Structure 1
Amino acid sequence: MRRVTVFVNGTSKNGKVVAVYGTLTDLLSVATNKLGIKACNLYNGKGGLIDDIALIRDDDVLYVSEGDPFFDPQNYVRARDDRPGAHTDWLTLNIGGRLFTTTRSTLVSKEPESMLAHMFREKAVWGNKQDECGAYLIDRSPEYFEPILNYLRHGQLIINEGINLLGVLEEARFFGIEQLAEQLEVAIKNNETPEDHSPISRKEFVRFLLATPTKSELRCQGLNFSGADLSRLDLRYINFKMANLSRCNLTHANLCSSNLERADLSGANLDGANLQGVKMLCSNAEGASLKGCNFEDPSGLKANLEGANLKGVDMEGSQMTGINLRVATLKNAKLKNCNLRGATLAGTDLENCDLSGCDLQEANLRGSNVKGAIFEEMLTALHMSQSVR
């Protein structure tokens, strides 16, 4: 098996020893992987182009090019150092394998406190490493460095399509280019897609319900359903805590054991809804309609509306046996013909509330405000012990 040493064309450093096998194409492929270039041509030490692998001998020294002509490594380095302008303000950066040619003043003047300025303000202060062609090596992303260099050239932030602003921002921070970093932060913020606060539609919610296993707990806390038509849907056990259900159509919906704690139900229509065991603590149902609702659970689970805002609600004909309306606000509400047997109304504001035709047997009205309340045609007479205010 033959072995040869290969160098990048024009250099005599960082060579690689490789085995010779197969065809010339195979050897070029190995050189590509070893040297990190796209190997196209092979030359011997005298610059002769090798076009047949049979011409290669054991321990030969070969030079690999990407298609350019042969450069003698000794003469090429000398010529590069002696060329006009070699020691001028111009310099070349090798950023992640990609070459950028610029001037020292470009890197220093615009952002004098940046890392690049400190690296190139005085020669060899940082001991900057160079590749075989004299370009200064910096191991960063060339894609994100290009807009940074352009900014240092003309002071404008110009980003080509498809370039990630976050990547450029990270590079700007790395190089300590603070003014550019501030501009990028503003640009990123302006490009952010605004949050969608639009209400969830019936179609979207039904799709969501169908895609969720029946035994899974549905969490809809804080979601916006404002004005949605959710009528006649099975919404049992769903957590609507702090959700926006204002002006929703919930007629004949099944909300059995659902959690509506601190939810906004203002102006909603819940006529005929099943509210057995519902939790509506501190919810806001001002101006809502709850005609003919059923809060009465045969199993004994009582609906809890403690502290709820029920100003002006219409709950006519609702079944509310054992309901907890403690310290709730029912000012100007309509509760005609409601079944409120055993209900807890202690501390409840019932001012100007219409309770005519209600069954308040064993209801707790201690501390409630019944100023202006209507108690006509009661099914059972109120006992003095039921109200102390």
Structure 2
Amino acid sequence: MFSGEKPTKKRITARKRGEKRGICLFVPSTLAELTQVLTKKLSLKVDSLYTESGGLIDSIELIRDNDIVEVEINNKEDKLSNLQETTKADNDWITLNVGGVKFMTTRTTLASREPESMFGCMFQHDRPFTWKSTTDDSNAFLIDRSPKYFEPILNYLRHGQLIFDDGLSIEGVLEEARFYNIVSLVEILEKKVQEERKTEFQITRELFCKRLLATQSNVELRCQGMNFEGCDLSRLDLKRINFRYANLKNSNLEGANFAFCDMERANLSGAQLDGAALMGARMLCINLEGACMRGCNLEEPNGQRTNLEGANLKGVNLSGSSLAGANLRVAKLKKADLRNCDLRGAVLAGADLESCDLSGCDLQEANLRGANLKDAIFELMISPLHMSQAL
């Protein structure tokens, strides 16, 4: 080295132990300074320095120009620090101002059970903050919803159990759960709402018989829109009663007399109607899907047509029933059992008779124009079916 020249600084490549890539830097005058520089540049707590061959470096004099220095990190301290930070972040206390009432809870409570909920979007660490919410003077998040219905929702997020005080509307809590998009809670509440509706006031046979006895024979009994689901009304004289829009689903109506009743848009799906009298009944758009109607009498004694236009009769069992002259225009009779039915003069124009069993039926003068007869069975017909009836 010539007199007056400055000594050349040594340059090294520092990398974490076990890794191939690192950073280049000039070597300071002391080992302590080098450790501080590496701690700052790597953003990790440096514990020890080693040569590429594994020798411990305990003096700056041991480092030569262009050496590769391997850095050992203090993993225990780093992991502990990360754990403390994570635990602290997960247990950050958050205040929500819901409709003027403040609720205190943790980030974990709000975000862990339902990650895709509104609160998951607001408070999860591993996703960007996508839901902006105004805060009040105390930095509580403002939510313009009902505090009365929010309390059971927050408790559900805490422990997974749905508990609320008597008198609190389930429908109200359900509406709020839908707003917050708490899917699992919505499913629970929807089931509870359905159960409540099932236990709502239903007409029993005893109550209905008392009402029948208390009604004069010349007064129309109005049962429009009433709930008779699962009720036993078998063998009762129900003539001329208004059953419009009534729910008679899965009811036992065997042998009952529904002559001249108004049953427009009533729900009789799955009902038992074997041997029932339905002469003159008005059954426009009635739902009889899956009902059993063996041996029913729907024939009009005075020549008027029983009106079943647009009725849902999918899969119904009408075997042996009398439907002479009945209006079944555009009715849905797919896979219905109509064996040995009297359908003389019946109007089946535009009806869906796909896969319907019409074996042994009397279709004399029946109107089948435009009906869907795909895979329908016409074996052992009493009277031959003319092409003109179906064209």
TM-score w.r.t. length of structure 2: 0.50
TM-align CA RMSD: 2.1
Distance (Å, rounded) in 1 between the aligned partners of 2:314 and 2:333: 5
Q: Do 1:276 and 1:301's aligned partners in 2 also have CA atoms closer than 8 Å? A: no
| Runs of 4+, deviation exceeding 3 Å | none
**Which position in structure 1 is the counterpart of 2:223?**
220
Shift of 1:279: 1.0
**Which position in structure 2 is the counterpart of 1:356?**
359
- Is 1:345–2:358 an aligned residue pair? no
- Secondary structure of 2:364 counterpart: coil
**Which position in structure 2 is the counterpart of 1:330?**
333
**Which position in structure 2 is the counterpart of 1:248?**
251
The amino acid that maps onto 2:308 is L
Shift of 1:384: 0.7
Shift of 1:299: 1.3
Shift of 1:268: 0.1
Distance (Å, rounded) in 2 between the aligned partners of 1:253 and 1:212: 18
Q: 1:378 aligns with which of 354, 365, 381?
A: 381
Give % identity. Answer: 60
Distance (Å, rounded) in 2 between the aligned partners of 1:349 and 1:302: 19
Distance (Å, rounded) in 2 between the aligned partners of 1:308 and 1:198: 28
Alignment of 1:39-58 (within 5 A): none
Q: Do 1:230 and 1:250's aligned partners in 2 also have CA atoms closer than 8 Å? A: yes
**Which position in structure 1 is the counterpart of 2:323?**
320
The amino acid that maps onto 1:210 is L
Distance (Å, rounded) in 2 between the aligned partners of 1:362 and 1:301: 16
Q: Encode CA deviations 1:271-303: one digit per residue, 9 max, x unaligned.
A: 000010111111111000000000112211221
Q: Do 2:287 and 2:311's aligned partners in 1 also have CA atoms closer than 8 Å? A: yes
Q: Do 1:357 and 1:375's aligned partners in 2 also have CA atoms closer than 8 Å? A: yes
**Which position in structure 2 is the counterpart of 1:23?**
none
Q: Do 2:203 and 2:227's aligned partners in 1 also have CA atoms closer than 8 Å? A: yes
**Which position in structure 2 is the counterpart of 1:206?**
209
Distance (Å, rounded) in 2 between the aligned partners of 1:190 and 1:291: 47
Distance (Å, rounded) in 1 between the aligned partners of 2:168 and 2:380: 65
The amino acid that maps onto 1:214 is S
Q: Do 2:300 and 2:325's aligned partners in 1 also have CA atoms closer than 8 Å? A: no
The amino acid that maps onto 2:313 is L
- Secondary structure of 2:207 counterpart: helix
**Which position in structure 1 is the counterpart of 2:308?**
305
Distance (Å, rounded) in 2 between the aligned partners of 1:229 and 1:308: 23
Q: Encode CA deviations 1:87-115: one digit per residue, 9 max, x unaligned.
A: xxxxxxxxxxxxxxxxxxxxxxxxxxxxx
- Is 1:265–2:268 an aligned residue pair? yes
**Which position in structure 1 is the counterpart of 2:187?**
none
**Which position in structure 1 is the counterpart of 2:372?**
369
Distance (Å, rounded) in 1 between the aligned partners of 2:292 and 2:262: 18
Distance (Å, rounded) in 1 between the aligned partners of 2:293 and 2:312: 13
The amino acid that maps onto 1:308 is A
Aligned length: 203
Distance (Å, rounded) in 1 between the aligned partners of 2:337 and 2:283: 18
Distance (Å, rounded) in 2 between the aligned partners of 1:353 and 1:328: 12
The amino acid that maps onto 1:295 is L
- Secondary structure of 1:203 counterpart: helix
Distance (Å, rounded) in 2 between the aligned partners of 1:358 and 1:227: 32
**Which position in structure 1 is the counterpart of 2:285?**
282
**Which position in structure 2 is the counterpart of 1:236?**
239
The amino acid that maps onto 2:218 is K
Q: Do 1:275 and 1:295's aligned partners in 2 also have CA atoms closer than 8 Å? A: yes
The amino acid that maps onto 2:238 is L
Unpaired runs of at least 5, structure 1: 1-181
Alignment of 1:188-199 (within 5 A): 197-199=200-202
Q: Do 1:197 and 1:224's aligned partners in 2 also have CA atoms closer than 8 Å? A: no
Shift of 1:190: 5.2
Distance (Å, rounded) in 2 between the aligned partners of 1:357 and 1:343: 15
Q: Encode CA deviations 1:252-271: one digit per residue, 9 max, x unaligned.
A: 00000001110000000000
Q: Do 2:293 and 2:319's aligned partners in 1 also have CA atoms closer than 8 Å? A: yes
Q: Encode CA deviations 1:164-214: one digit per residue, 9 max, x unaligned.
A: xxxxxxxxxxxxxxxxxx99xxx9x859xx997332110010011111111
Distance (Å, rounded) in 2 between the aligned partners of 1:301 and 1:249: 27
The amino acid that maps onto 1:309 is N
Q: Encode CA deviations 1:319-376: one digit per residue, 9 max, x unaligned.
A: 1110000000000000000000000000000000000000000000000000000000
Distance (Å, rounded) in 2 between the aligned partners of 1:300 and 1:197: 41
Q: Do 1:364 and 1:387's aligned partners in 2 also have CA atoms closer than 8 Å? A: yes
Q: Do 1:289 and 1:314's aligned partners in 2 also have CA atoms closer than 8 Å? A: yes
**Which position in structure 2 is the counterpart of 1:387?**
390
- Secondary structure of 2:350 counterpart: coil
Distance (Å, rounded) in 2 between the aligned partners of 1:237 and 1:302: 16
Alignment of 1:79-94 (within 5 A): none
Q: Encode CA deviations 1:27-73: one digit per residue, 9 max, x unaligned.
A: xxxxxxxxxxxxxxxxxxxxxxxxxxxxxxxxxxxxxxxxxxxxxxx
- Secondary structure of 1:204 counterpart: helix
Distance (Å, rounded) in 2 between the aligned partners of 1:264 and 1:270: 13
